[in-house]
Amino acid sequence: MTPLLRMEGISKHYGGVRALEGARLACARGRIHAVLGENGAGKSTLIKVLAGVVQPDAGTIELAGEPIALPDPAAASRAGIVSVFQELSLLPDLSVADNIGIVDPPRMWHRTWGPIDRRAQRRRAEAALARVGAGDIHPLAQVRDLPLSRRQMVEIAKALARDPKLLLLDEATSALTAADVASVFRVLRQLRDDGLAIVFISHRMQEIAELADDCSVYRNGCHVASFPAGSKTSGEIIEMMIGREHESVFPPRPGRASSERPALAVKNLSWAGRLRNIDLEIRPGEVVGLGGLDGQGQRDLLLALFGALTGVTGSVAVHGVPVTLSSPQRTRLPGGGIALIPEDRKTEGLMLPMSVRENLSFAAIDQFSRFGWIDRRAEEAAIASMIRLLGIRADGIDGPVAALSGGNQQKVVIGKWLMTRPQIILLNDPTRGIDVGTKQELYRLLRELADGRAALLFYSTDYDELIGCCDRVLILYDGAIVNVLEGDALTEHNIVASAHNLTAAGAAGAPP
């Protein structure tokens, strides 16, 4: 039987950058096809070609054996190709229902000329949300007000509501918690069994293992290999992706830091009913994780500690000195201060059209300037060493960061903050959309920073990461810390249990 989709010889160049070179992909009905590759391998570009967003320089696309042209997203949509993009394509000012029904909504009176039937649209949206297990999202809510994980669910519901023949998911689960992932996977399997072809991209290897039927690996824009899932070990796959051998993922944890004075001590911190009486202490050299279901206040806590919220009560001390964190500028403290790796790199971390140079040195510009005058040499030297340290792949430092792949952009965000030499680093899901190789470098980097006596507070939606990286994990539920896990008690089971606030203390390891 011919596969539903066949792409051959797809090439795409951006100026001097090779995004795809003779790439190919074939996927069949009733199969979930995983696409793997490190950051910048060209996965998203491949998806965008299929979605009609990007026009390839060369190559052919066949759908059900017929050659097809995809000049714009609308054409792809008509052909039954529906995508969930890495950068979400939701409309923040519109309601969830409007978003889900944005293309081809139900109409009153006449199928093409009638006005939009809002009731029918709302029913349709409710059904789609319920189907992916996001029934908690109100269809009239504005997407702008939803946290990233809920938005991702809306995006998936939106894709499914369009009755695709071919569904493309580009890191669609990167911000989802385990529970959401599970319910999305249930639907995806159901759809596969109904005969859909699904292309699935994720940097989380266990998701690939769990879901994929076939795999294709790309490297540097080229197709490396395709094989049925399970025929290769994950070590082999990673080797294909990064082109070298791959060691154990997490760097070793040193023993607990001594009982010296905490770098960050928070007492009784509350905010707007969304954070309740948070107490926490992080010593220099410690990596403390924030866990729990998404949206339990973890992101707000990080923002509060960074001075980005108003009306926060409670006390915060840095190295024993009480500080008022009434604005981010106030986190600039003698000896380094506090850094925040924000949630959304595109809008919060970077000035996309500006150069890598300007982005990297932006937060630390004071170090290279006297009386407001920038010393470009000092700046360049510092940038060069940061690029080396993080292995940022960029076509020179004067190109816009927008041209970097997602993972490299994330590295720029991290580099931007490392340049300020912070003593306390708040990380808001920093590995979202980062490939395994880079992730591993990042874990190593975090540990090095901790060894360099920085204190890290690390929120992640990935439990493995929390377990592998953190000395301690605080589980938040409804804005309060409900459990603290460390040592042997730091297991996936315990995290999941306390995340749902099921545990009475003791059932899953008592807090110290």
Ligand X SMILES: Nc1ncnc2c1ncn2[C@@H]1O[C@H](COP(=O)(O)OP(=O)(O)OP(=O)(O)O)[C@@H](O)[C@H]1O
Beta strands 312-318 and 321-323 are antiparallel
Site string for another protein, 387-426 (x = CB under 8 A): --------xx-xxx-xx------------x----------
Among 71, 259, 329, 335, binds ligand X (CB under 6 A): 329
- DSSP code per residue over 30-86: TEEEEEE--TTSSHHHHHHHHTTSS--SEEEEEETTEE----SHHHHHHTTEEEE-S
Identify the burial level of 47 via C-beta atoms within 10 angstroms of its C-beta, where 0-12 means exposed, 13-18 middle and 19 or more buried: buried
Q: Round to whole Å and give the CA distance between 65 and 73.
A: 20
> Is 98 one of the binding residues for another protein (CB under 8 A)?
yes
Q: Which letter does DSSP use for residue 135 in this model?
A: T
* Side chain identity, residue 370: R
> Is 382 one of the binding residues for another protein (CB under 8 A)?
no
List the one residue out of 473, 506, 503, 511 whose CA is nearest residue 491. 473
Among 10, 19, 217, 397, binds ligand X (CB under 6 A): 19
Which range in 38-46, 316-324, 413-421, 478-486 contacts ligand X by CB under 6 A? Answer: 38-46
> Is 295 one of the binding residues for another protein (CB under 8 A)?
no
Comparing CB distances to ligand X, the nearer of 251 and 406 is 406
> Is 88 one of the binding residues for another protein (CB under 8 A)?
yes
Comparing CB distances to another protein, the nearer of 355 and 423 is 355
Instruction: Judge contact between 474 and 280, C-beta under 8 A.
Output: yes
Instruction: Judge contact between 473 and 485, C-beta under 8 A.
Output: yes
Dihedral sign of CA atoms 405, 407, 413, 419 in order: negative
> Is 14 one of the binding residues for ligand X (CB under 6 A)?
yes
Among 7, 31, 37, 237, binds ligand X (CB under 6 A): 37
List the one residue out of 145, 89, 171 whose CA is nearest residue 410. 171
Supply the minimum distance, in Å, between the C-beta of residue 44 and Mg ion.
Answer: 3
Tokens of 156: 């998936």
> Is 406 one of the binding residues for Mg ion (CB under 5 A)?
yes
Which range in 20-28, 237-245, 283-291, 342-350 contacts another protein by CB under 8 A? Answer: 342-350
> Is 142 one of the binding residues for another protein (CB under 8 A)?
yes
The count of chain residues that interact with ligand X, using the rule CB under 6 A, is: 22
> Is 223 one of the binding residues for another protein (CB under 8 A)?
no
> Is 91 one of the binding residues for another protein (CB under 8 A)?
yes
Comparing CB distances to ligand X, the nearer of 408 and 483 is 408
For residue 82, list its beta bridge partners.
167
Among 44, 83, 423, 494, binds Mg ion (CB under 5 A): 44
Supply the minimum distance, in Å, between the C-beta of residue 428 and ligand X.
Answer: 18
Supply the minimum distance, in Å, between the C-beta of residue 463 and another protein.
Answer: 27
> Is 164 one of the binding residues for ligand X (CB under 6 A)?
no
Identify the burial level of 141 via C-beta atoms within 10 angstroms of its C-beta, where 0-12 means exposed, 13-18 middle and 19 or more buried: middle
Comparing CB distances to ligand X, the nearer of 39 and 420 is 39
Dihedral sign of CA atoms 299, 303, 305, 311 in order: negative
Q: Which residues contact 112 (CB under 8 A, 6 or more apart)?
A: none
Among 433, 437, 479, 509, binds Mg ion (CB under 5 A): 433
Dihedral sign of CA atoms 297, 298, 301, 302 in order: negative
Supply the minimum distance, in Å, between the C-beta of residue 412 and ligand X.
Answer: 12
Q: Round to whole Å and give the CA distance between 284 and 17.
A: 41
Tell me which of ligand X, another protein, Mg ion, none is bound by residue 381, counting a contact when its beta carbon lies within the kind-specific cut-off of 5 to 8 angstroms.
Answer: none
Q: Contacts with Mg ion in 58-117 (CB under 5 A)?
A: 86
> Is 103 one of the binding residues for another protein (CB under 8 A)?
yes
> Is 76 one of the binding residues for another protein (CB under 8 A)?
yes
Tokens of 307: 């001075």
489-490-493 Cα angle (round to 5): 90
Which range in 86-94, 127-135, 238-246, 497-505 contacts another protein by CB under 8 A? Answer: 86-94
Comparing CB distances to ligand X, the nearer of 10 and 275 is 10
Neighbours of 22 (CB within 10 A): 13
> Is 334 one of the binding residues for another protein (CB under 8 A)?
no
Instruction: Judge contact between 128 and 159, C-beta under 8 A.
Output: no
Among 365, 382, 389, 480, binds another protein (CB under 8 A): 365
- The H or E element containing residue 401 is none
For residue 5, list its beta bridge partners.
27, 63
Tell me which of Mg ion, another protein, ligand X, none is bound by residue 435, counting a contact when its beta carbon lies within the kind-specific cut-off of 5 to 8 angstroms.
Answer: ligand X
Residues that bind Mg ion (CB under 5 A): 44, 86, 406, 433
Site of interaction with ligand X (CB under 6 A)? 14, 17, 19, 37, 39-45, 86, 329, 332, 372, 403-407, 433, 435
